[in-house]
């Protein structure tokens, strides 16, 4: 296992010193590269993107389509370097939660904080009809209900096939996910969402998965509120992470 050099991790400044590391888990069909733009607004925090097969630089690799295989492979290959926190958006929030639980079960270092964005509590999932089995046209319509896909992707047959493969694998992860009851995490959980996103109504359920009082922040916007409200979101992240006296190497 490795933390610094891993095909699973995207990092902008590998040699930089930081007081804390923020491992970011992307939403369905996405690359973690979007999080790299956060680095300039988070001084003292090293931002790392969790890059699974089928995403970004690993686009040619077949993606995982069950939560258990995804989490198992990630723990096999990555040693999370402390102190650290997790941030996950949408499906990434559920993945980050399951990784935190797996780290605890294996007696490994756990995150100091868990940020869960635009995803209802695990025991409430899935609460929408399954979609991964639909034909491409109907499947893409369900995906674009959350936001349109770039036209250049849809018009390029090869790229469209790659994107649909990843989106369908991610959809199957959520469609087949079943929460296994376990003691709540002994770390703070910060739940975030957009005011007009239907998932926001399910955020209070995260209180069952932490021994700490749940902290909830609702910002203007929809399922992808974090793009339009980036500055406000990162202010919240900074506020919860706080400052540390000595940088980690």
Q: What tens digit of pLDDT does each residue of 22-58 get?
A: 999 999 988 898 899 999 899 999 999 999 999 888 9
The span from the CA of 61 to the CA of 59, in Å, is: 6
Nearest to 193 by CA among 209, 216, 212: 216
| Short-list 28, 29, 186, CA closest to 118 | 28
Question: 90 catalytic, yes or no?
Answer: yes
d(CA 24, CA 46) in angstroms, rounded, equals 11
Give the tokens for residue 210: 């932490």
Cβ atoms 132, 171 nearer than 8 A: yes
Higher pLDDT, 140 or 180: 180
Q: pLDDT band for position 16 (50/70/90)?
A: low
- Note whether 89 and 170 are within 8 A (CB): no
Q: Count CA atoms closer than 13 A to 216's CA, side-chain side.
A: 18
The pLDDT of residue 155? 75
pLDDT for position 197: 95
As given in the structure block, the two tokens for residue 83 are: 């102190």
Which position among 28, 31, 33, 90 bears the catalytic label?
90
Q: List residues bridging with 117 in a β-sheet.
A: 89, 192
């Amino acid at each position: 296992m490795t933390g610094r050099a891993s095909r699973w991790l995207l990092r902008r400044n590998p040699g930089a010193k930081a007081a804390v590391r923020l491992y970011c888990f992307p939403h369905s069909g996405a690359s973690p590269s979007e999080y790299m733009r956060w680095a300039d607004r988070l001084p003292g925090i090293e931002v790392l993107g969790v890059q699974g097969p089928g995403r970004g630089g690993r686009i040619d690799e077949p993606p995982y389509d069950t939560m258990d295989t995804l989490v198992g492979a990630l723990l096999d290959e990555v040693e999370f370097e402390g102190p650290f926190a997790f941030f996950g958006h949408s499906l990434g929030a559920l993945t980050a939660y399951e990784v935190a639980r797996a780290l605890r079960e294996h007696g490994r270092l756990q995150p100091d904080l868990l940020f869960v964005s635009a995803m209802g509590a695990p025991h409430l999932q899935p609460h929408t009809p399954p979609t991964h089995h639909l034909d491409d046209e109907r499947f893409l319509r369900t995906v674009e209900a959350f936001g349109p896909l770039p036209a250049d992707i849809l018009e390029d047959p090869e790229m469209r096939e790659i994107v649909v493969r990843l989106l369908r694998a991610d959809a199957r992860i959520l469609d087949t996910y079943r929460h296994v009851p376990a003691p709540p995490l002994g770390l703070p959980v910060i739940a975030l969402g957009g005011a007009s996103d239907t998932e926001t109504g399910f955020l209070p359920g995260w209180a069952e998965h932490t021994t700490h009082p749940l902290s909830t922040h609702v910002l203007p916007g929809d399922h992808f509120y974090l793009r339009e409200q980036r500055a406000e979101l990162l202010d919240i992240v900074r506020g919860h992470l706080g400052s540390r006296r000595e940088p980690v190497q």
